[in-house]
């Protein structure tokens, strides 16, 4: 009988621990396809010097526009829906841009002619 109670208590503890582990994993935000698409649109709109990344001043403009409600594309990055883009949310945006950039780079590599074999 005591053993049964111990097992039940053990299972209850596992039940308490497992969900908290799962939510900890979820905090490492995975990028959604929407975020990658939005990042692309935002880069096209805010990359003023067209260097392929959002520089601090470009991010600042995006944050200002988003707070003013004139950058609806960025809403997918406003995870906590407070109508502002904080550092964490900007980091997610940058991550989405990097994810896209990697793909782009791979494409460029594919397009490049194969190096001639050494003779």
By CB under 5 A, name the one of 80, 116, 117, 118 that touches Ca ion: 80
The Cα–Cα gap between 85 and 75 comes to: 9
Nearer to Ca ion, 83 or 107 (CB): 83
Shortest distance, position 84 Cβ to Ca ion, whole Å: 5
Alpha helices for the chain (secondary structure H): 2-27, 33-46, 56-67, 87-111
75 is an interface residue for Ca ion by CB under 5 A: no
The Cα–Cα gap between 39 and 95 comes to: 9
49 is an interface residue for Ca ion by CB under 5 A: yes
Instruction: Tell me which residues touch Ca ion (CB under 5 A).
Output: 47, 49, 51, 55, 78, 80, 82
């Amino acid at each position: 009988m005591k053993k049964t109670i111990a097992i039940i208590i053990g299972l209850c503890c596992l039940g308490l621990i497992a969900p908290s582990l799962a939510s900890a994993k979820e905090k490492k935000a995975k990028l959604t396809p929407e975020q990658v698409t939005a990042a692309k649109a935002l880069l096209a709109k805010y990359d003023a010097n067209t260097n392929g990344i959002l520089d601090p001043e470009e991010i600042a403009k995006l944050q200002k526009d988003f707070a003013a409600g004139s950058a609806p594309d960025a809403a997918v990055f406003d995870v906590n829906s407070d109508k502002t883009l904080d550092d964490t949310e900007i980091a997610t945006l940058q991550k989405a841009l990097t994810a896209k950039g990697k793909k782009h780079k791979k494409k460029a590599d594919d397009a490049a002619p194969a190096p001639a074999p050494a003779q």
